[in-house]
Amino acid sequence: MTDAQQSPTAAGSGASATQSFLTTEMYQAVRQVPPERVDAVVRAVLDGVHQAIREHEVTYPEFQAAKAWMIQVGEGGEWPLFLDVFVEHVVEEVQAATQQGTKGSILGPYYLPGQQRLPSPATLPMREDEKGSRLAFTGQVRDVDGNPIAGAEIDIWQADDEGYYSGFAPHVPEGNLRGLVVADDEGRFEIRTIQPAPYQIPTDGPTGQLIEAAGWHPWRPAHLHLIVSGPGHRAITTQLYFRGGEWLESDVASAVKPELVLDPQDQGDGTGRVEYDFVLERDEATAAA
């Protein structure tokens, strides 16, 4: 990126991610956590912090550095980024214990609801000169007994060929590489898009600075994000990765699962083709009705 004006900054994408989070349904829904839960969980978190301080004999300068860093994370709007990268995978792991069907993965900070509905076969909205190799992704949405789910929907979002998400980088048009794809009566879908690039956590913000200070790397492997849903079924939030992709074995967000790795094949026409089926379990709340 040479044009400074067009350059997406950590502060820009952090502020957008924070704004986006504060308007999500998931956040709006949680207004009341019972006092027993607050007591038990917060106590355990604080115990862990106290334990780390004793074990590593944390000094006053280090304590104040941590405080300053947390202030910067808040001011830079990076709490969604930091928490989704370093914490969400364990929340997902706990939820996965009660979930059948396709493996889930973390939502991450860059989901935007309300995208264009696109009947399958669909091409995701993209720029005329969108860079990146073509990808044709087909499959079927079924229930755990193998029955097709009519009216299934695939809410899909991804980074572009440079690792930027629309809505979080000013030079990418709104809605780019995002869509709500509606499967056919047999739950079948076809989505044409481009191969995303690996994602790098912005190095100019507090999360990137922490990663640098700790000597870690800031990369996520290339991935597609999906929320797959169907009437009467429990929606699954997941991600799909690409065989042989860089950072697959060392995702900074610890969100890769072996069942979620695609292996597109190019039959000589410059388009990687891949099939992947989704399996949803019945939504108990809906099923009881």
Question: Can residue 79 be called a binding residue for ligand MBD (CB under 6 A)?
Answer: no
Question: Can residue 85 be called a binding residue for ligand MBD (CB under 6 A)?
Answer: yes
- Residues 199, 242, 276, 278: which binds ligand MBD (CB under 6 A)? 199
Parallel/antiparallel/unpaired status of strands 117-119 and 261-262: unpaired
3-state secondary structure of 36: helix
**Count of CB atoms situated within 10 Å of the CB of 209:** 17
Counting residues that bind ligand MBD (by CB under 6 A) gives 11
Question: Can residue 189 be called a binding residue for ligand MBD (CB under 6 A)?
Answer: no
- Residues 14, 77, 80, 108: which binds Fe ion (CB under 5 A)? 108
Cβ proximity to ligand MBD, 81 vs 118, nearer residue: 81
CA distance 232 to 125: 29
Question: Can residue 80 be called a binding residue for Fe ion (CB under 5 A)?
Answer: no
Question: Can residue 230 be called a binding residue for Fe ion (CB under 5 A)?
Answer: no
Q: Which residue's beta carbon is nearest to the bound ligand MBD? A: 108
Shortest CB 271 distance to ligand MBD, Å: 24
Tell me the β-bridge partners of 189: 139
List CB contacts of 8: < 8 A, sequence separation 6 or more: 1, 164, 168, 169, 170, 171, 202
- Residues 77, 108, 205, 272: which binds ligand MBD (CB under 6 A)? 108
Question: Can residue 251 be called a binding residue for ligand MBD (CB under 6 A)?
Answer: no
Question: Can residue 112 be called a binding residue for ligand MBD (CB under 6 A)?
Answer: no
Q: Position of tokens 């956040």?
A: 27
Report helix angle 206-214 to 79-86, nearest 10.
Answer: 40
Task: Classify residue 152 by its DSSP letter.
Answer: -
Contacts with Fe ion by CB under 5 A lie at 108
